Chain A
Amino acid sequence: MRIRVLMAMSAVLSLTLLFPASVEQAFAQRGGDTLHIEINQGIIDPMPIAIADFIGQSPDEIQKGQTLAQVVTNNLRNSGLFRPIDPRAFIERPNDFQALPRFVDWRLIDAEALLTGQVVLQDDGRLRIEFRLWDVLREQQLIGLQYFTTPENWRRVAHLVSDAIYERLTGETGYFDTRIVYIHESGPANLRRKRLAIMDQDGANPTYLTDGRDLVLTPRFSPTAQEITYLAYQNNKPRVYLLNIETAQQEIVGDFPGMTFAPRFSPDGKKIIMSFERDGNSDIYVMDLARRRSTRLTRHPAIDTGATYSPDGRRLTFESDRSQFQQIYVMNADGTDVKRISFGDGRYGTPVWSPRGDLIAFTKHRQGRFYIGVMRPDGSGERLLTESFLDEGPTWSPNGRVLMFFRQSGDTFKLWSVDLTGYNLRQIPTQGDASDPAWSPLIK
């Protein structure tokens, strides 16, 4: 008995003596020779980047090299995250793509990154465009790629180069190699002609997709980028259509007895969600494109419309006036668990789920002013990014960092884009009036 007690006591004692030693060691290691300093404040200025004209030998190559550099410059500047340095400040003029830049010269003009490139028109008639992105401070190449393409496709390569730079320096996927489909408007107010048009995200290469005989509204891209769904009034009857951009083939999505509108693709491109109105009541339906079968998702005497999917396809957001005024709601993709998420002062509409899934963009109307804003899917963190007499119809860039929308000022409608931070509001150049933009995914 005594022996047992003694053993137990010795065990307890040895534990108490040993354990502190290990604790001691653990704490002793916490120290170290290095001085620890946490930095949680910095600057949000755009990064200064030097973009040299792409090197070429023949006059044609030289000319292409200059315009390529210009397109890349505009893309990066418009993103708001980069500040291209005026080429007139350059000390070195790169003339050999294989030579290392004189980094000292680039540091002197405060460049943190440098882009050098080369354009070669090959014997086989193809254009070879190659570039290197340099970290000027570390004197390292960050990325170097080359592209082969037909000479007339140089502009797309400029967008691809911009995307590669954007991704390497910010970590985000780029959005420059994308297109915008929108409604081109012309003519007097009482005889407005609305045509479906498509252009590069920077406003270049505008092309009309419809002839303007029918009124078209709310175009939306398919995730495959080859198809657009939109609303058109044919014979004064509104219908949801599907248009293949490459083949220009057009078809009606389901022939319902009432009116269908506000269509949008599901993230996998296999379904279209839209509103169906009959006897003054509109509800949300989803149609399986392969089987052409539609399912009703909401059943409420109020107006439910403007539905979009979350990127994972499991949730939906839509607008409804079931609580007297127009507000934003979310629900499961099968129509269950409906929750209102907008509770601010004013009316909320046109909700669009971000491709990253973290935010929902919307249009807000309060006291005669319109705003484009974002909030989290649970309704928290509402932020208003723009304000004007009429801002409407936000659409997300594929990386979820930029919103495009249309703005009315006076009698004109123009497309505008704004960064998620609310800085960097800019107008997109279009010929004539433009409204209802829809941003494509990255072109594959």
Chain B
Amino acid sequence: MRFGFFISLLFHGVILMFAVVTLPNAWRADDELTILPVDLLSIDEITNVAAKVEKKPPELEEIAELKPKPVTAQKEQQAPPPPKVIAPAKDALPPLPDPKKKPEKKPEPKAEERTEVTQLAKAKPRKKPSPPTPKRQEKDFNLDQIAALLDKKEKEDPKPQPKQEDPLDDFLNSLEVDEAPRQATGLGTGLTMSELDAIRQHIRTCWRVPAGAANPEELVVDIRIQLNKDGTLTTPPQVTKTGASSFNRNSFSQAAADAAVRAVQRCQPYDFLPTDKYERWNDITFTFNPAPMIGR
């Protein structure tokens, strides 16, 4: 009797646990499909338009107008600094002397075709002006931060409201507050299918598929990019994951990572993306997987 009772209790417990563990997952199946949220968000977008567009856009537009100009100027000036890292030749060749290079690179963007390497190399003073550029950047970033703060304020607003105990008020608030669904962009892409396709199509034209390796999974690479509002890269692309682990990294995975980085760099600017959805595409992680192309 006792034994039967314990068995029954155990079974009930197991079934209960199973239900609790699996049911939420079943409901959450959508979370794992990164594409599906697109549709949901595009609906949000439509439903949200009226309330939001009038309030926010003016602020965003102002920022947008200010941004592109300084950013493009900076970006070009920024781009040279990363190359300063001139990897020294493993075996033999020493790296080029740094002091000379830096001045060479920085002036180039300013007067691309006319300048000569040697003249520019001497122009050391120009090095100094370049540091100020990051400062300008910071200003821009501040603008972003301000925008972000504005967003937060709006986010915070809905929170106090739910505190009100009246369920009717809560419901009404949830209808009024467009920001709530609109800001929840982190969970989905927030872009329409055709916008995502446009990005894919764009990158496709820039990505030279790696020639192949014995294990195609070694060629899968994740690249994370962050974008300015004008579609240019804010910082050099980051390789966040490669197919080969750190201890078996080889020439194949390195070449595959390089090809992917070249692709996202070559494809900029991503200026075809809607600026009003900037916050949804300013940070993208691409997974480059050549397996379907090399047919293995």
| A residues whose Cβ falls under 8 Å from a Cβ of B | 1, 5, 8-9, 12, 15-16, 19-20, 23-24, 27, 30-45, 47, 81, 91, 96, 98-100, 102-105, 112, 130, 132, 135, 137-146, 167-173, 356-358, 401, 420
Contact = CB atoms under 8 A, between A and B. Distances in A.
Contacts of A170: 210-211, 255
9 contacts: A30-B32, A34-B224, A43-B207, A44-B293, A99-B104, A130-B93, A140-B87, A144-B88, A171-B252
Contacts of B104: 99-100, 102
Contacts of A15: 13, 17
Contact of A36 (B34, B213, B280): B34
Contacts of A138: 82-83, 236, 261-262, 265
A37 B189 CA distance: 9
Which 6 A-B residue pairings sit nearest by Cβ, starting from the closest?
A: A139-B83, A144-B89, A171-B255, A144-B93, A42-B207, A12-B13
B154 interface: no
B231 interface: no
Find the residue from B186, B211, B262 having the highest chain A CB count within 10 A: B211
B4 interface: no
Query: Looking at chain B, what size class is its interface with the partner chain?
Result: 35 or more
B288 to A, nearest CB: 5
Contacts of A172: 211-213, 251-252
Nearest to B237: A138
Nearest to A94: B117
Contacts, number: 224
Q: Is the interface of B mostly helix, strand, loop or mixed?
A: helix
Contacts of B34: 36
Nearest to A118: B93
Nearest to B205: A43
A47 B208 CA distance: 7
B93 A137 contact: no
A313 to B, nearest CB: 18
B285 A36 contact: yes
B75 interface: no
A99 B6 CA distance: 82
Contacts of B17: 12, 15-16, 19
Find the residue from A137, A143, A168 having the highest chain B CB count within 10 A: A137
B71 interface: no
Given A19-B17, A171-B250, A171-B254, A33 B93 contact: no
B160 interface: no
A374 to B, nearest CB: 12
Contact of B5 (A5, A41, A100, A169): A5
A105 B113 contact: yes
A161 to B, nearest CB: 12
A37 B200 contact: yes
Given A130-B93, A137-B265, 17 more contacts: A8-B9, A8-B13, A31-B186, A32-B186, A34-B285, A35-B284, A36-B287, A37-B199, A37-B287, A39-B204, A43-B209, A45-B208, A103-B83, A104-B109, A145-B90, A171-B252, A171-B256
